[in-house]
Amino acid sequence: MDRANTKTRMRTARRFAKAGCWVASIAFMLAADPSLAALVYNLQTPVTPIGEQIFDLHTYILWICVVIFVCVFSVMFYSIFAHRKSKGHQAAQFHENTLVEVVWTVIPFLILLFMAIPATETVLAMKDTSVPDVTIKVTGYQWKWGYDYLDEGFGFVSNLATPYAQIYNQEAKGEHYLLDVDQPLVVPAGKKVRVLITAGDVIHSWWVPAFGVKQDAIPGFVRDSWFKAEKPGIYRGQCAELCGKEHGFMPVVVEVKSQEDYSKWASEQKKKSAPAADDPNKVWDAKELAARGEKVYAANCLACHQADGKGVPPAFPPLDGSKVATGPVAAHLDVVLNGVVKNGQPTAMVAWKNTLSPTDIAAVVTYERNAWGNHVGDAVQPAQVASAKR
């Protein structure tokens, strides 16, 4: 009997050793890779007061859990070690003990209280969006973020800047692979920024880990959140709610600038958006319009309708020789202004009336009617667009 027990124990020990070897060899394989120098394993370093509270709260709760875990399982593993049949341990037959059962109901309850108190404080702090210094509207689209500075009166769209060649492994991946945008959100340091968050199509979620902000962007509803970033720098996050094909490719990048830098940047932005405020009654000549239209086309339409105007049928119809681009102006304007709706569902052709200025629309429509094989020859004026918009 005894010998059998020793044998079993040795077998168990060997089994443990073998398992250990496996784990060790995998760990070794991984450790040998030089790129593994900096393994990520914790929340990102927070830069806002809320972010810090969340970080500390997580650490605090994690350690309480670890302590309880160690206590409970040292009892269990001691028991596994000591109360085994192979050691000749006789089973006790006790069960039910009201005192013990009350104690292990009440103590966890008290521990929970100690967790709930700091958590409640943080919840209330996170919800306090009053008296902001800057208010920015964030809109989630499939698959980019729109930012509108409500106090300043300008806005822009922020797209993924990582080239497709990197994503499809044709090029080495850059430093901020997938977390880089063409135009980041810029905010002043040390100021309370309130973000109004909504979406244009499906639900997205605007998330910057270092700020401790994650708020779902819900179409048709506006929700808000706030942050006060103390340290200038660039902070990166991602859309956190599955929003379709390119959900993994719509990063959030926030650049925190000192107050002076921010003011300088903001006034530049205002100036840049000035062309949008062209005199809507100015009468342009066709050449001017077409030249400007080409730029507008390249920025907004080319992705789908292609540089040669041939589109990618059937998903993206061609413009070159199309009925719309060579037919009556009114119908063409209607498509560009209001988009195309099929069976009550918006299609990939969205409405541009709120995104582009009347001048830009006039320009791009003129361009489309006179580019490639299209030679309608007319020039659409901003005033026409403005009246069609009504």
Partner 1 sequence: MSSIPHHQGPGHAIDDAHAHDEHAHHPGGIMRWITTTNHKDIGTLYLWFSFIMFIAGGCLALTIRTELFHPGLQIVDPEFFNSLTTLHGLIMIFGAIMPAAVGFANWQVPLMIGAPDMAFARMNNWSFWLLPFAAVLLFASFFVPGGAAAGGWTLYAPLSVQAGMGMDLTIFAIHIMGASSIMGSINIITTILNLRAPGMTMMKMPLFVWTWLITAYLLIAVMPVLAGAVTMLLTDRHFGTSFFNAAGGGDPVMFQHIFWFFGHPEVYIMILPSFGIVSTILPAFSRKPLFGYASMVYATSSIAILSFIVWAHHMFTVGMPAAGQLFFMYATMLIAVPTGVKVFNWVTTMWKGSMTFETPMLFAIGFIFLFTMGGFTGLVLAITPVDIQLQDTYYVVAHFHYVLVAGSLFAFFGGVYYWLPKWSGRMYNEKLGEWHFWLTMIFFNVTFFPMHFLGLAGMPRRVPDYATQFTDWNMVATIGAYGFGLSQLLFFYIVLSCIRSGPPAPAKPWEGADTLEWTLPSPLPYHTFETPPAIK
Of residues 214-273, which lie at the interface with partner 1 (CB under 8 A)?
214-216, 218-221, 223-225, 236-249
**Closer CB to Cu ion, residue 119 or residue 203?**
203
| CB of 28 vs partner 1, minimal distance in Å | 12
Among residues 183, 164, 157, the alpha carbon closest in space to that of 253 is found at 183
What's phi and psi for 234, nearest 5 deg? Answer: -115, 125
Strands 154-158 and 223-227: unpaired
Which residues between 177 and 216 bind partner 1 (CB under 8 A)? 177-179, 197, 201-203, 205, 207, 209, 212, 214-216
Minimum separation from the CB atom of position 194 to partner 1 (A): 13
What lies within 8 Å, CB to CB, of 298 at 6+ separation is 307
Cα dihedral sign for 158, 162, 163, 167? negative
CB 203 within 8 A of CB 243: yes
For the bound state, the minimum distance from the C-beta of residue 203 to Cu ion, rounded and expressed in Å, comes to 8
Shortest Å, Cβ 134 to partner 1? 20
Q: How far is the CB of 118 from partner 1 (least distance, A)?
A: 9
DSSP 284: P
* Residue nearer to Cu ion on the CB measure, 200 or 311: 200
CA separation for the pair 300, 352 (Å, rounded): 10
User: What token pair was written down for 337?
Assistant: 């202004």
Restricting to residues 152-181, name those near partner 1 by CB under 8 A: 166-169, 173, 176-179
In angstroms, what is the minimal distance from the CB of 156 to partner 1?
23
Choice between 71 and 298, CB closer to partner 1: 71
∠ CA(7), CA(10), CA(11), 5° rounding? 85
Nearest CB to partner 1, comparing residues 138 and 319: 138
The contact mask relative to partner 1 for 64-103 (x = CB under 8 A, - = no) is -x--xx--xx-xx--xx--xxxx--xxxxxxxxx--xx--
Name the minimum Å distance from CB 43 to Cu ion: 22
**Residue 120 is a binding residue for partner 1 (CB under 8 A):** yes
Restricting to residues 282-321, name those near partner 1 by CB under 8 A.
Answer: none
Radius of gyration of the chain (CA): 31
Q: What are phi and psi of 304, to 5 degrees?
A: -100, -50
Name which of 237 and 309 has its Cβ closer to Cu ion.
Answer: 237
Binder of residue 262, out of partner 1, Cu ion, none (CB less than 5 to 8 A by kind)? none
Looking at residues 368 to 387 of the shown chain, list those that interact with partner 1 (rule: CB under 8 A).
none
For binding to Cu ion (CB under 5 A), which residues are involved?
Answer: 204, 239, 243, 250
Indicate which of Cu ion, partner 1, none lies near residue 68 (CB less than 5 to 8 Å, by partner kind): partner 1
Only one residue has tokens 């909504």, namely 198
Residues 6-65 interacting with partner 1 (rule: CB under 8 A): 12, 15, 19, 22-23, 26, 30, 33, 35-36, 38-44, 50, 53-54, 57-58, 61-62, 65
Nearer to partner 1, 247 or 310 (CB): 247
* Separation of first and last alpha carbons in the chain: 96
Quote the CA–CA distance of 372 and 62 in Å, as a whole number. Answer: 64
Q: Which is nearer to partner 1, 173 or 295 (CB)?
A: 173
The answer to whether 211 and 51 are in contact (CB under 8 A) is yes
* Omega prior to 145 cis, within 30 of 0: no
Query: Going by DSSP bridges, is the β-strand pair 345-346/341-342 parallel, antiparallel, or unpaired?
Result: antiparallel
Residue bearing tokens 């070794």: 28
